[in-house]
Amino acid sequence: MLVYYPNIQYLDFILVAIQRLLIDPEILDIRLINGLNKFIVMRHIVPRHITIIILISILIAMPFSSVYSQGSEGLNWSTPNYDKKNTRFNPQTVINQDNVENLEMRWIYRLPRNPYIGILEPSEGFQVTPLVVNGILYYSTSFGHIVAVSTLTSRTVWTFNVNVTAALEKPWIINRGIQRSLTYSEGSIYFTSIDCTIYGLEAITGEITIEIPDTCKDIPGNQGRYYGEEAPTIYGDIAIVGSASGFGQARGYAAAYNLKTGELLWRWFTTPPMTIGEKEWNPEWEKGNLDPFPNDWGDNDNIVPYGGAVRTDGVVDEETGIIYLGTALPGLAAVGIHGHPNQRMAPGPNLYSNAIVALKIETGELVWYYQIEPHGVRRQGIYYNIILADISIGGDSKKTVIGGSFQGFVYFLDANDGTSLIDPVAIGKHNNPSNVNLGNNANMSLAQQVGDKFCPGAEGGLAGPLAFNDGKVFAASRNDCFEIRARVLDITPEDHDDDEELPAFIYATDLSQPQNSNIRAIDTSTGNILWSLDLPNLQWGAGVTVSAGVIYALDFIGTLHMINSDTGEEIDRLEFGGSGTAGVSIASAANGEIMVFIVTGGDETLTPTDGIITAFALREDEGSQGFSPLITYASIAVAAISISFAILLLFRKS
C-alpha cells in the first residue's frame, strides 16, 4: 500500500488547514496538530522544531472565523449519502432553485487511468459520491486509488493506492473493479478494498489508522469468490460490512468487526451453505412476512445456492442499535452439469435473498426481514442506500425504513417490526413483473424461460440511491427492458464427459424497447406520486441528490439535470460528455463557499475515458459567500509572514 504526498508547496497544505479553521475552529484538535506535524516532517520541508512555529501561524488566523456567517449546516458531505440516515439531502440554502442556473465552474481535477486494464473487469464508470470534510474532497476510483484534494486549489493533498495485483493473487477474490462508497468517522476515511480489507486512513495525511485484512477469507459454507465494494457502516467502534458475492458465485453475508482490535464480532448469512442435497438451513420464518416453506432451496444434487449479496449502504438507528440492510438476488451454481441451472431447481422463497433486513449491531441477531420478491428469477434485488426517516401516516409519526429495488419499487417499512406502512410504489416502466410483491402467493417453483421479456430489466429498476426531504422521496428509474436469450456454450469433448447438459441462457437488453429514465416524487404520507419527469437517457448508479429545492440527477451519458423538487420542472442541465454513474455531492470549500461536485468518466467498456471531478459554485455577481478574497489573502499573508520570520531568525542564529 502506498501513501503519496505530491510535490506541492507546503503553504498550500497549511492554507487548507487555515481555511478549515476559519470555517470551524473546533476542528483544531490533536488530530489536526499531529497531522500537520507529520505532513511537514515527512516532506522534509522544514526541521521539526520549526513545525510548532508554523502551527502558531495557523492559530493567528483563527480570529477571522467570525466572518463566516453560513454556520455549520450543510458544510460537510461526510457519508456516502450525506448524513447518517442516508437521506442525500443537504440543508444548505446558498445554492437554490432560484439561482442554480448561475453556477460556474471553479476547477476540474483529472483522475488517473486504470493501470490494471486487462486484469480487472472493465469499469462502467466511477461510482463513488465524493466526500467533502472540512474543506478537503476525498474520492476513490474503481481500481483502489484514493485521493484527497484541496477544495481551495484543486491540488492533490495525498493519495493512497491499493495493491490490486497482490489482492488478485488471493484465491477467494474475483477481479471486479467496483468501488461504490467511502465514509468518514472520527478523523479517518474508511473504505473496503477489493480484497475485502477494511481500511481507515487519517483524513489529513492519508496514513493508515485501521487495517482489518481479508474479511471475506475462509467464509464458512462458501465455495465462491468475493470483492470489496461498499464502505463499512461505522457505529461507535464497530464496522459493519457486506459481501459482494453475486459475480463470484459466493455465499452472502453481513459481518461486524471491532475497529480497535480487529476482532470479528459476528457474521450473519443471507443464504444456506453451498452444499448439494438437503440444506442445513433454518430461516427464522416467524420474524418476517412469509409462512414457513419446508426445505427452502431444495435438495438437488446438481446445484449449490449462492447470492443474497449485501451491496447496500446500511443505515443505523442509533437509538435502538439496529442496522438496516438490503440483499440481492438468489443464484445457483452447477455441480457436475454444463449450462445454467434454472431457479426451479431450488424451490421455495430462497430466503434471505431479495429482502430488507434489520439486525442487532452488537450481536448480529435478526430482528425482522421483509422479502420483496420470493423465489426471484429476474436477477434483481435491493441495492444502494437504505433510508431511515420519520414520516407522518394518518397523523401519526412513524420511524420508517425506505428502500428502492431493481424491481422498480420503493418500500416503506415500519422500522420496529418490518411491516409495510404503504403499498410498494412503482417507479418507471413495468411489464411481466414475476413474483415481486406477491409474498406467500408467489410461485415458489417458477422457472426462467428463454424468450421471456420483462421491465425493468436485470440492471434496474431503481439502479441508484434515493433521496428524502420534507416528507417526499425522490427516485430515478432506469427504463431498460430485458429478455432471456438462448446461449450456446463452448464445451469441448474433454469438458463434456458424461455430464448432463442443461439449456444455457443470457439476460440481455431488449433492443425493441426504448431506453430512458423517469424521476418521480412520492408523498411519504400516502404513497401518491406528486410529479413525474421523463428523461431521454438511462439513469444508472448516480441516483439523485436534493438540496434547497433542487434535485441533481446525473444520467449515464454524463448530463446533469437540475430539477425543481416542488414541481418536477427541469431548471437547467449541464453536458459533461463522460459516463455519469457517481452521485452528486454538495458541500463547502475550505473558504466557506458552497460548491457542487460532479464526477464523470472512468468508463472502460469500449474506450477508456478519463475520470474528472468538476467543482461548481455561484458566479461572484450572485452575491458573496464564504470569505472574500481580501480575507483569504490576509490569512495567507499572516501564515507566510510568520513562517518567513521564523526561518529568518534561524538563519541569523546560524
**At 324, is the secondary structure helix, strand, or coil?**
strand
- Which one-letter amino acid corresponds to residue 53? I
- Which one-letter amino acid corresponds to residue 615? A
- Which one-letter amino acid corresponds to residue 487? R
DSSP 289: S
Q: Which of 399, 350, 341 is nearest to 372 (CA)?
A: 350
* Lowest-pLDDT choice from 24-28, 262-266, 496-500: 24-28
d(CA 385, CA 87): 8
Give the dihedral of Cα atoms 522, 528, 533, 536; nearest 10 deg: 90
Q: What is the pLDDT of residue 104?
A: 97
- Residue 587 CB neighbour total at 10 angstroms: 25
d(CA 78, CA 132): 6
- Residue 161 CB neighbour total at 10 angstroms: 17
Q: What is the pLDDT of residue 280?
A: 87
Contact (Cβ atoms closer than 8 angstroms) between residue 433 and residue 446: no
Q: What is the pLDDT of residue 64?
A: 39
d(CA 573, CA 613): 17
- The domain 100-622: what is its CATH number? 2.140.10.10
Q: What is the pLDDT of residue 453?
A: 94
Q: Which of 378, 254, 229 is nearest to 310 (CA)?
A: 254
36 pLDDT more than 90? no
Query: For 164-195, how does the pLDDT look when each residue is reduced to its tens digit (9 = 90+)?
Result: 999 999 999 999 988 999 999 999 999 999 99
Q: What is the pLDDT of residue 126?
A: 95
Q: What is the pLDDT of residue 142?
A: 95
d(CA 575, CA 112): 21
* Lowest-pLDDT choice from 154-163, 269-278, 603-612: 603-612
Contact (Cβ atoms closer than 8 angstroms) between residue 632 and residue 19: yes
Contact (Cβ atoms closer than 8 angstroms) between residue 232 and residue 189: no
Q: What is the pLDDT of residue 243?
A: 86
Confidence grade of residue 18 (pLDDT, cut at 50, 70, 90): low
Contact (Cβ atoms closer than 8 angstroms) between residue 190 and residue 169: no
Q: What is the mean pLDDT of residues 346-360?
A: 97
648 pLDDT more than 90? no
Q: What is the pLDDT of residue 6?
A: 44
- Strands of the sheet containing 585-588, edge to edge, are 103-111, 611-618, 594-600, 585-588
Domain ranges of the chain: 2-68+629-653, 100-622
DSSP 65: G
Please give the biggest Cα pair distance in the chain: 89
Residues β-bridged to residue 598: 614
